[in-house]
């Protein structure tokens, strides 16, 4: 062909500033676009060969090479794919404004929002001008008798075409890098980018540093990528160790996952992937999940909320969906309805896997529960369909160490606390209350994760007759000693004396005091806390809100147990002037013991408690 010069058919000189300013959110995406184009070119040639429309040389091996040269300030992307003829270069490279480009540019050239311009026409190749002052293409088509051609442009809408000396079918794109983008000519930087986007590219990918000595002929150079990732295989052909190794390698994890879901489907859309349930080192790990989204084995982005249901972002995994409606940047999604269908199907698959695990491997399910329950509870709150699918497999650990569903708990406790679920948030701090429940053959469940405060409110909203009460919220009739009858007037009189004594000694006019005869004689007093105000305060603290103590005060009640011998001793010595100081010591000590079983004392109260304990011990010796 003869040498040719001309203008790229965009009918405006504003296309390149638009590319550089608006088209891509991350500069390094240029290499993703160019390598992806190379992979597309190989796929096209491979398909033609499979159809018998062209013949490949014996032993032909498809590959892509990225070559960097820091000294020459160049980057080359080389493939042995389908290549292009001169006419195809003119069509696919020169005529980038295939339809309506002029009108489009006039409409958007003064706009600043990048999402307004993405996806309207094919600009993948032109991302090279984000980092290069000049770009050259050398290409040879697979077609018999084709002539190799070159194309070159400096990003000013003008181009130059000529004959190329390329002798192998395929394409080389050479970028002559701008001064502000020379970091990409560093081999370590390029390796990092290629590993990020192309760790699982279906064709072998190599990185060459032209400034280094070439490898010896007998030295095998390994590709950067795994061309056949685990998610591409049939789940029946994958071993547990392969799943664990893939997890460790992909997410740089040292701990093995609990279990996983292997997605492999062709209808109603193509999607493959593996979702892992990680073992939590601590509860805040739930914020560190990562779902990697791929498009034909090319990385798109982490945690795309339009595709991945929000609650699944707490997990880790890889999803490859070739049917994703992506636009030119391969990062933004189109066709919202289709994307929602994908998201719903992922939710269904996860719920089905959990249900199957519960039914077929109940022991493993309960073993995993401490790790997976924050995820399941969050999923129920965020996704109605997910809740409907898993509501019957939500389990609760009881204070006796076994696991029950909500219905099982309500059924076996219906005689003692109908439609009420008692729960514990701290088994150590609330040990006194737990012991009382156990003594009276009552049951409570353990709810000790950050999300539980929201989750129990959510369950109450779904079951209007259901009520959750923390174990220290109130004393049920099952804990009261109703067997010991006494004169009501006399009982009321004694109770009033006890209330007055505690109020006078403690000097807290706002303190609510309640006197009851409890079945347990091991506890002189305990603190009860209003359930509603406690939940609102906890929710306020969790979200870092303002102090809401004025709106939702603590409403703590000191419950004094008249069946305890210390309390009876106090009653018998009320008015005894010789015992007055001892009575005051005991009252304060009983109150602090109740508070200690309820929550940690502040430093001043703790100091007073220790000193008083010493005083009481000194009276014994």
Q: What is the mean pLDDT of residues 436-448?
A: 89
Within a domain: 67: yes
Residues 338-351 pLDDT 10s: 677 778 888 888 99
Within a domain: 373: no
pLDDT of residue 483: 59
Residues 473 and 484 in one domain: no
Within a domain: 550: yes
> Which of 9, 208, 260 is CA-nearest to residue 122?
9
Burial profile 313-350: b = 16 or more Cβ within 10 angstroms, e = fewer: bbbbbbbbbeebebbbbbbbbeeeeebeebbeebbebb
Residues 328 and 403 in one domain: no
Choosing from 456, 477, 498, the residue where a domain stops is 477
Choosing from 451, 477, 503, the residue where a domain stops is 477
Residues 420 and 569 in one domain: no
Domain boundaries, position 432 = 394-477
- Bigger pLDDT: 4 vs 254: 254
Within a domain: 238: yes
Residues 526 and 615 in one domain: yes
* CATH classification of the domain holding 519: 1.20.120.790
Tokens of residue 114, six digits: 């990048």
Residues 563-583 pLDDT 10s: 889 988 888 888 787 888 888
Given a cut of 60, whether residue 110 has pLDDT beyond it is no
* CATH classification of the domain holding 83: 3.30.565.10
Give the percent of the chain with pLDDT over 70.
Answer: 83
Candidate from 207-221, 360-374, 423-437, 605-619 with smallest mean pLDDT: 207-221
**DSSP structural state of residue 214:** P
pLDDT of residue 447: 93
Q: Report how many domains make up the chain.
A: 4
Within a domain: 567: yes
Residues 560 and 438 in one domain: no
Residues 192 and 247 in one domain: no
* CATH classification of the domain holding 329: 3.30.230.80
* CATH classification of the domain holding 463: 3.40.50.11260
Q: What is the mean pLDDT of residues 280-285?
A: 57
Within a domain: 19: yes
pLDDT of residue 550: 54
Residues 60-69 pLDDT 10s: 899 999 999 9
Residues 413 and 353 in one domain: no
**Residue 620, SS3 per DSSP:** helix
Say if residues 532 and 538 touch (Cβ distance below 8 Å).
Answer: no
Backbone angles phi, psi at 451, to 5 degrees: -85, -10
Tokens of residue 238, six digits: 């994958």
Given a cut of 50, whether residue 116 has pLDDT beyond it is no
Greatest mean pLDDT range, 104-108, 109-113, 211-215, 248-252: 248-252
Residues 429 and 529 in one domain: no
Residues 103 and 251 in one domain: no
pLDDT of residue 338: 66
Residues 309-367 pLDDT 10s: 878 877 899 999 887 766 444 444 555 666 777 788 888 889 999 999 999 999 999 99
Say if residues 3 and 103 touch (Cβ distance below 8 Å).
Answer: no
Q: Which residues contact 416 (CB under 8 A, 6 or more apart)?
A: 442, 476, 478
Say how far apart CA 100 and CA 9 lie, in whole Å.
12
Q: Kindly write down the DSSP assignment for every residue of 111-165, as one continuous string.
A: ---GGGTTTSS--TGGGGGGTEEEEEEEEE-SSTT---EEEEE-SSSEEEEEE--
Say how far apart CA 367 and CA 361 lie, in whole Å.
10
- Bigger pLDDT: 112 vs 71: 71
Say if residues 169 and 142 touch (Cβ distance below 8 Å).
Answer: yes
Residues 63 and 203 in one domain: yes
- Bigger pLDDT: 458 vs 268: 458
pLDDT of residue 390: 95
Candidate from 46-55, 239-248, 288-297 with smallest mean pLDDT: 288-297
Say how far apart CA 130 and CA 25 lie, in whole Å.
11
Sheet containing strand 420-424, edge to edge, reads: 403-405, 395-398, 445-446, 420-424, 467-470
Residues 601 and 575 in one domain: yes
Choosing from 477, 509, 544, the residue where a domain stops is 477
Within a domain: 216: no
Given a cut of 50, whether residue 559 has pLDDT beyond it is yes
Name 470's bridge partners. 423
Residues 352 and 449 in one domain: no
Is the overall model pTM greater than 0.95, yes or no? no
- The per-residue pLDDT of the chain, averaged, comes to 83
Q: Which residues contact 538 (CB under 8 A, 6 or more apart)?
A: 453
Say how far apart CA 277 and CA 259 lie, in whole Å.
6
pLDDT of residue 429: 85
Within a domain: 225: no
């Amino acid at each position: 062909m003869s040498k040719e010069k001309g203008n790229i058919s965009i009918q405006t000189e504003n296309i390149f500033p638009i590319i550089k300013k608006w088209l891509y959110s991350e500069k390094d995406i240029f290499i993703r676009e160019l390598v992806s184009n190379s992979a597309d070119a190989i796929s096209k040639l491979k398909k033609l060969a499979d159809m018998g429309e062209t013949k490949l040389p014996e032993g032909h091996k498809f590959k892509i090479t990225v070559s960097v040269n820091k000294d020459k300030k160049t980057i080359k992307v080389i493939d042995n794919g389908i290549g292009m003829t001169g006419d195809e270069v003119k069509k696919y490279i020169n005529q980038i404004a295939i339809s309506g480009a002029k009108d489009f540019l006039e409409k958007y050239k003064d706009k600043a929002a990048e999402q307004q311009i993405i996806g309207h026409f094919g600009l993948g190749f032109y991302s090279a001008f984000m980092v290069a002052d000049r770009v050259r293409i050398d290409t040879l088509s697979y077609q018999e008798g084709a002539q190799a051609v070159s194309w070159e442009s400096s990003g000013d809408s003008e181009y130059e075409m000529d004959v190329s000396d390329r002798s192998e079918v395929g394409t080389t794109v050479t970028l002559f890098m701008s001064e502000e983008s020379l970091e990409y000519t560093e081999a370590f930087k390029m390796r990092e980018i290629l590993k990020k986007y192309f760790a699982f590219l279906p064709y072998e990918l190599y990185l060459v540093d032209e400034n280094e000595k070439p490898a010896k002929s007998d030295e095998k150079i390994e590709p950067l990528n795994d061309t056949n990732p685990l998610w591409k295989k049939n789940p029946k052909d994958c071993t547990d160790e392969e799943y664990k190794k893939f997890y460790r390698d992909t997410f740089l994890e040292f701990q093995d996952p609990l279990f996983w879901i292997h997605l492999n489907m062709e209808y109603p859309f193509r999607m493959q992937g593996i979702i892992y349930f990680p073992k939590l080192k601590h509860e805040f790990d739930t914020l560190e999940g990562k779902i990697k989204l791929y498009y034909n084995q090319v990385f798109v982005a982490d945690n795309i909320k339009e595709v991945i249901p929000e609650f699944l972002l707490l997990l880790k995994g890889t999803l490859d969906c070739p049917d994703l409606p992506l636009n030119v940047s391969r990062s933004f999604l189109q066709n919202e309805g289709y994307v929602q269908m994908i998201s719903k199907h992922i939710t269904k698959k996860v719920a089905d896997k959990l249900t199957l695990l519960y039914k077929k491997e109940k022991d493993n399910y309960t073993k995993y529960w401490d790790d997976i329950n924050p995820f399941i509870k969050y999923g129920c709150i965020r996704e109605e369909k997910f809740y409907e699918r898993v509501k019957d497999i939500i389990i609760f650990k009881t204070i006796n160490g076994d696991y029950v569903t909500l219905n099982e708990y309500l059924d076996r406790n219906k005689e003692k606390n109908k439609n009420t679920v008692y729960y514990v948030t701290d088994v150590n701090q609330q040990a006194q209350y737990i012991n009382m429940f156990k003594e009276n053959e009552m049951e409570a469940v353990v709810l000790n994760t950050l999300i539980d405060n929201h989750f129990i409110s959510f369950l109450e909203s779904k079951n209007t007759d259901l009520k959750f009460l923390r174990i220290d919220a109130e004393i049920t009739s099952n804990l009261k000693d109703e067997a010991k009858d006494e004169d009501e007037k006399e009982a009321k009189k004694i109770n009033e004396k006890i209330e007055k004594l505690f109020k006078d000694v403690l000097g807290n006019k706002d303190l609510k005091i309640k006197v009851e005869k409890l079945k347990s004689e091991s506890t002189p007093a305990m603190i009860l806390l209003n359930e509603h105000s406690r939940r609102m305060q906890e929710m306020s603290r969790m979200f870092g809100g303002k102090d809401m103590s004025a709106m939702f005060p603590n409403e703590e009640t000191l419950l004094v147990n008249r069946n305890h011998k210390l309390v009876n001793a106090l009653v018998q010595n009320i008015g005894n002037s010789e015992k007055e100081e001892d009575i005051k010591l005991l009252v304060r000590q009983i109150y602090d013991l109740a508070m200690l079983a309820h929550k940690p004392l502040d430093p001043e109260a703790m100091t007073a408690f220790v000193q008083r304990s010493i005083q009481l011990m000194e009276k014994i010796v």
